[in-house]
Structure 1
């Protein structure tokens, strides 16, 4: 059967808008993923509508996000004060409004539904059946994986989410995994059919994340020219483990007290998730460890500004307990900055140990301090890693991500058409 060319895609990102500033609240790598993927698809002639929940009455119902991309704000629940854990109660309203928006269009308006995160997958499964188009789903994070690697004091994901994820895996026509490891976890933990899982790496905007002159950006950011800059960028929550970096820095200064005079540790981001319960806890830990003279807390910044911070850094630390991919690590490497990362999840794909950065087993402060010290003090190693970081980053581009994702869409569309023939 002849399959018509792909024309329009409905993306669903219920709990966080791609227009939100990454680095605070629930906005992070997934926001970047959704908007960059949509824009690259639009550049290839595909129209993309992104459905997300409205969080302010001031938001226009439809906001253009580039040629061929529209963000559609759906009213479901109160605009503010609704936690991610309370969102399942708004799924019915959100789904109804998504279906209503499509009902105003000619029959067959969308060719495929691509849902992001399990809450969106629940809505996507309903839209799939109503519209008669395939559902492609990206998990981004998985409860069973997160619960197996909880940070100390973090809250396990609830059984309702686990059940919801299992339902989405069963309903989806195709599942997109960020890495081979994630694909294996979908099969082993969620009984996904291997034939319905495709690995598509996320990308990096190599026009934005590129090397800047370090002396220039340090001067502009108020950083000493000769500083050892150990950067953390991301949401401040136990899962991302910025506390591991602070404890490692404290250990490093015990071993090498002479480093204190030129050490700067910027923490770029805002509280999120369970970190919202104690937004001041990381600053209190910094004071407790005697690091107030070296730690700088910086509010979340736009992508272009983050690229400048990464270029200014000696290294970027990514000590997370789990990452489905680790977009910050890929972005940092694209600026030519080595990454010191936890050897978990997608970070083992993004960071090439000993070539573009260093991977650290576990989260013990002494092991992390040793890795930080190696990069800071071994000039030959650092220069080698800087070159390797640039090479490694070239493996990841949003154009390639879009091309491979469109191939998954076309396969799902063709298989559905064949099954109905």
Structure 2
């Protein structure tokens, strides 16, 4: 007789996570300022974690006197605005001087709660990692950190005219890598970069790919989307979505579109080059001047610069596009690419960072940022209806593997691994902390 034993139940996950995102609020509109894919990531995984039974308190810097101290997004998800420095006028580069004030604000919140209120700290971006390191050490809980972008990677792939990341950021990132119990990478390539460029211990690095809102970003009628957006039915629409800064490469699309119009003069009057987003980073300090660039290249009347839009409207732009360009010089993942594919839009992306993972074999990857190469790649997609159809179908299927629930499941596995060996806390004390019942703090 063969006996079988029941599988061991999974290790318990955290009841409540303190999630830290110092420099940008998860409630901010993506596409302008410092708000981008990370904002979407943080809020969406928090929602999925809460629905799976892990409550999340999101700590972010207050940037307006009118912001409430606490915003409940949904049951189990709370955003806490922490005063740290002047509300307005501080750039991301100036925030290191406010980390102490931010950490003190987090400590004050936790001081009103019972011991063991937070089981784990998850920090996003290196500034948050510095604060998360202090909080996790003070509370005797594990620190999980997501880099999202890394100075040493960005400095290896600078766009023309862009500014290198400062040495102080590199030092801060190294410190966070050393302090974290677990590091979460968006892709296997990012995981390798953490090991190769930051000497991270491989066993502490896990991969959890970002997701996409598959209920909002769905395939739909291109004709209907164009009617909603007021676009000509016969337009050749080349679309860029994201922050307007050299790193993201919107100028690559403008130059390639001008070259395509030069090659095919008959297309010029149908061409629409749409840039959805606002200035960010070095693009604020030194505006990219896309309108001037387009005018110099002879397509000034073909360019539309559109402020960031809410997600339902963004989905319509994706559906309306003949090709979505993602010409980033560095990209930890490339959420725009997956959103576009989920809507059935063909994607042409730079072969950098996490974009090969995001795009898979369902899109077109371009090596480098040469204008002629991009014009050729965009033309082969935008002007070939059958190829657009095939890429759109394959892209929509590919995007189905990137739901946010899947991301949250992987994060919970990372959390359980970190909790299985809490740092600097005895087994007895760890159990005592976990036995503290949940509470509500103001």
Query: TM-score w.r.t. structure 2 length?
Result: 0.93
Whether 2:189 is the aligned partner of 1:201: answer no
Whether 2:378 is the aligned partner of 1:372: answer yes
Deviation of 1:380 after TM superposition, in Å, equals 2.2
Distance in 2 between residues matched to 1:405 and 1:272, nearest whole Å: 29
The answer as to whether partners of 1:217 and 1:312 remain within 8 angstroms in 2 is: yes
Q: Secondary structure at the match of 2:369?
A: coil
Residue of structure 1 in register with 2:172 after alignment: 164
Q: Deviations over 1:40-59 (max 9, x none)?
A: 11111211100000000000
The answer as to whether partners of 2:245 and 2:288 remain within 8 angstroms in 1 is: no
Residue of structure 1 in register with 2:86 after alignment: 78
Residue of structure 2 in register with 1:335 after alignment: 343
Deviation of 1:212 after TM superposition, in Å, equals 2.1
Distance in 1 between residues matched to 2:418 and 2:309, nearest whole Å: 37
- Where does 1:144-293 land on structure 2 (aligned, <5 Å)? 144-279=152-287, 281-293=289-301
The answer as to whether partners of 2:30 and 2:308 remain within 8 angstroms in 1 is: yes
Distance in 2 between residues matched to 1:376 and 1:402, nearest whole Å: 35
Of 41, 49, 60, the match for 1:33:
41
The answer as to whether partners of 1:3 and 1:417 remain within 8 angstroms in 2 is: no
Of 32, 46, 66, the match for 1:58:
66
Distance in 1 between residues matched to 2:189 and 2:421, nearest whole Å: 25
Whether 2:137 is the aligned partner of 1:129: answer yes
Indicate the larger mover: 254-263 or 178-187.
Answer: 254-263
Deviation of 1:6 after TM superposition, in Å, equals 2.1
Q: Secondary structure at the match of 1:394?
A: helix
Q: Deviations over 1:292-340 (max 9, x none)?
A: 2211110011122111111111111000001000000010000000100
Residue of structure 2 in register with 1:399 after alignment: 405
Residue of structure 2 in register with 1:48 after alignment: 56
Q: Deviations over 1:112-135 (max 9, x none)?
A: 100000000000000111101100
Q: Deviations over 1:186-221 (max 9, x none)?
A: 000000000000001000000010012211110110
Q: Structure 1 137/104 Cα, relative in aligned 2: closer, same or farther at 3 Å?
A: same
Of 359, 362, 377, the match for 1:351:
359
Q: Which has the larger radius of gyration?
A: 2
- Displaced runs of 4 or more, over 4 A: 2-5
Number of aligned positions between the proteins = 418
The answer as to whether partners of 2:13 and 2:412 remain within 8 angstroms in 1 is: no
Q: Deviations over 1:230-279 (max 9, x none)?
A: 10000000000100000001111111111112111111000000000233
Question: What is the RMSD computed on CA atoms of the aligned residues?
Answer: 1.3
Distance in 2 between residues matched to 1:361 and 1:295, nearest whole Å: 25
Distance in 2 between residues matched to 1:84 and 1:155, nearest whole Å: 14
Residue of structure 1 in register with 2:146 after alignment: 138
Residue of structure 2 in register with 1:411 after alignment: 417
